[in-house]
Structure 1
Amino acid sequence: MAQPMAELADLLTRLGTWTTLYIDGPDGSPAPERDARRTSIRDRMLRAGTPEPDVEVALELLTDDGPPAPSSQTILVRDGTVRSSWTSSTPGRGSGRRS
């Protein structure tokens, strides 16, 4: 879903713990590689101390459809409920891309 900036800004002003998942979009990998990626994401989230309900609901939203890489998917979760989820078809600005 597209997330209007005002709505997103309102969400992020709320106090409390948030789970934020920002990942690369689909890359056309075969099913076994996609499954391994999901397992890796889940394991890293749990090691980071992410609450189990947040992990499970975030993983349900990971998409293998949508714009191909270089794209991204962002998911915001709080208390086991998805508060926002969107995809972007523009390249991200991670540590390797600065302007």
Structure 2
Amino acid sequence: MKQLLKRLAGGRREKGYLVFATSAANADHIIRHLVAANDCLPIWLMSRAAPSPELAAQCASIVIEPHAWKLCARALAFLRGRWPALSVVCWTAERGAGP
């Protein structure tokens, strides 16, 4: 029973922080916040724009795709075999900024 529960909870998968951002500023803000938490989990960034080089170095993986639907598809493909311990998005309420 323990093994089943562990498997259902992603026990064998790589864990990390999954970050979705619509702009470089949003990505930078979120990455700074996660780095300040000083946790050992990797940061996986899915963004429509590249973050600053200094903060990109803090990410284990970066996927940049300007088209929202393509970004979603690439994120789903990336997540095979991985388990997001926490998913983070920046809620900006900017018109046209979302997927």
> What's the TM-score once normalised by structure 1's chain length?
0.31
- When you count strand as a share of all residues, which structure comes out higher? 2
> What's the TM-score once normalised by structure 2's chain length?
0.31
